[in-house]
Structures are given as structure tokens and as C-alpha cells.
Amino acid sequence: MLKLHARLIGIKRFVGLVICLWNQGSAMLLLESRNLDRNSNRKHVHPSGWRAASDVLDRVGLLCPRDQLLVELSLKNLLSRQQVGRIMGITPGAVTRKLRRLVNQLNDPLIKALTDSSCSLAPDRKRLGIDHFLHRVPVAQLMVTHRLSRYEVIQSLIFIRGWHRGLSQRK
């Protein structure tokens, strides 16, 4: 059953209505916060010192909806860890740890290479690589979802690692 959950967030430079659609513990952001700062030409920096890099935000769509919401609230909407924690129902420390893990995963050179538009791998191998290296799906589950034998999955993962190693040595 879907529940509509609305919360008004007050921030120094941001005020907005965040409406989340909760479905079995995962949330989708329907409306973003509005920036009411008059100095819109100023580059916004997150309070922690991270710049909201556009390439990281481009790859956010690969994450599950709950992780996607966490990254977008922190980096795109520039909410504090306490505010994100209140919205998602977790502690600020957990927000920091999860955010660091997710940003590190999205900045992994292998994930960047797999999601690059000039990637020469077949789409099924890209999907297999993203499932394993980003989502940490085990080989047994990859066998079922991709309808491959254990040998084919392992050989594909070895090939992807070698492809990336060769690609990174060329640069």
C-alpha cells in the first residue's frame, strides 16, 4: 500500500516541500527543494566541502531508489546530514557512512568506464558488470537473473576486469 508522506523543511538558504512516495521502505522524490538564494550565479558547495559533481549525479540513476534519494538530497539539494536523516529515518552518522560509500562506488573508475557513452562492451556485459561491481550482486544471483551458467558469469566478470585494465593502461 502506498502512503503519501509530506514534510516541510526549513533551511537557511533552502525552503521546500519534499513529498516522498513510500513503498515498502523505499522512497521516490517527487518534488525537489527550491533554491531561494538571490545569488544564483554563486557556485554552491555542500557544507561538508563536497562539490555536487554533475558526473556523480548523472550516475545516481543506477542506484536503488532509497540510495538515489539519499545522494540527491545531500548533493543536489544540499541538505544537511541531520535533515536527510530525519527525512529517511536514520541517524546522521549512518547518512554520512552511506553517502561516503555510495559516492565512492559511483566514482569507481570501473563503474565510470561501464557507464561511459563510448563504452565498447555489449549491453548485456555492461549490465552484468554494473550489477556485480556497483550493486554487489553475488554470482549465484547473476546466474539466475542473466540466465547464464556459473562459468559464463565468472568468465564475463574476468573479461570486464581485463577490459578495464587494458582501457586504463591506454590512457
User: Based on the structure, what is the number of domains in the chain?
Assistant: 2
Is 70 exceeded by the pLDDT of residue 80? Answer: yes
pLDDT in tens, 21-77: 333 333 333 333 333 333 333 344 444 444 445 778 888 999 999 999 999 998 888
- CA–CA separation, 129 vs 141, rounded Å? 13
**Section 93-122 average pLDDT:** 92
Please indicate, yes or no, whether residues 89 and 121 belong to a single structural domain of this protein. Answer: no
pLDDT over 70 (residue 92): yes
| Shared domain check, 120 and 93 | no
Q: 106, 122, 144: which is the final residue of a domain?
A: 106
Predicted pLDDT of residue 17:
31
- Please tell me whether residues 48 and 78 are part of one structural domain: yes
Regarding whether 123 and 86 lie in a shared domain, the answer is: no
Q: What is the pLDDT of residue 171?
A: 66
Closest alpha carbon to 18 in 26, 89, 27: 27
Q: What is the pLDDT of residue 130?
A: 95
Q: In terms of domains, do 123 and 144 share one?
A: yes
Q: pLDDT digit string (tens) for 113-171?
A: 999 988 889 999 999 999 999 999 999 999 999 999 999 999 999 999 999 999 888 76
Co-location of 14 and 95 in the same domain: yes
Whole domain around residue 132: which residue ranges?
109-170
Instruction: Based on the fold, state whether residues 102 and 114 are members of the same structural domain.
Output: no
Q: Do both 118 and 141 map to the same domain?
A: yes
Grid coordinates standing for 70?
Answer: 539519499
Do 97 and 23 fall into the same domain?
A: yes
pLDDT of residue 168: 84
Contact 86, 73 (CB under 8 A): no
Instruction: Tell me: do 89 and 160 sit in the same domain.
Output: no
pLDDT(83) > 70: yes
Could you say which of 63, 86, 106 is where a domain stops?
106
SS3 146: helix
Together in a domain, 13 and 80? yes
Could you say which of 106, 123, 147 is where a domain stops?
106
73 and 126 both lie in a single domain: no
In sequence order, what are the residues at sequence separation of 6 or more whose Cβ sits closer than 8 angstroms to the Cβ of residue 114? Answer: 121, 126, 129, 130, 133, 160
Q: Judge whether residue 97 has pLDDT over 60.
A: yes
